[in-house]
Amino acid sequence: MTEQQRVKHIPVRTCVVCRQKAGKRTLVRIVRTADGIQVDVTGKMNGRGAYLCDRESCWERVVQSDVLAQALRMQLTHEDRERLQLAKPKA
Ligand SMILES: [Zn+2]
């Protein structure tokens, strides 16, 4: 693959809250697993995923609302929300 082809194929993802598009690496992947919501730091976990940007306001929104629950078609448990709260990027 040439350098030019690689540039064209940067995967773009959309933040589930603010709908801002960004390269895969600047967004955090959240995955629905059998054990609930997990923050996928490797980007390789299996399961339905949603992406979140690094804005603190977007993380607060997913903790407090059901935006993520709807995107992942699941109910967020109290533990899921706590996990998200802990994973929130520090401003
Ligand atoms: Zn966002």
Q: What is the CATH number of the domain that holds 16?
A: 3.30.1230.10
Q: Answer yes or no: are the C-beta atoms of 47 and 29 closer than 8 Å.
A: no
- Residue 1 belongs to some domain of the structure: no
- Residue 3 belongs to some domain of the structure: no
- Residue 46 belongs to some domain of the structure: yes
- Residue 51 belongs to some domain of the structure: yes
Domain that holds residue 82: 9-87
3-state secondary structure at position 77: coil
Q: Answer yes or no: are the C-beta atoms of 24 and 12 closer than 8 Å.
A: yes
- Residue 4 belongs to some domain of the structure: no
Q: Ligand 1 mean position to 61 CA, how many Å?
A: 9
- Residue 13 belongs to some domain of the structure: yes
Question: Whole-model pTM?
Answer: 0.82
Residue 26's nearest CA partner among 37, 12, 46 is 12
Write down the pLDDT at residue 72: 96
State the Cα–Cα distance between residues 63 and 52, nearest whole angstrom: 12
Write down the pLDDT at residue 6: 59
Q: How many domains does the chain have?
A: 1
By percentage, how much of the chain surpasses pLDDT 70? 90
Q: Ligand 1 mean position to 80 CA, how many Å?
A: 19
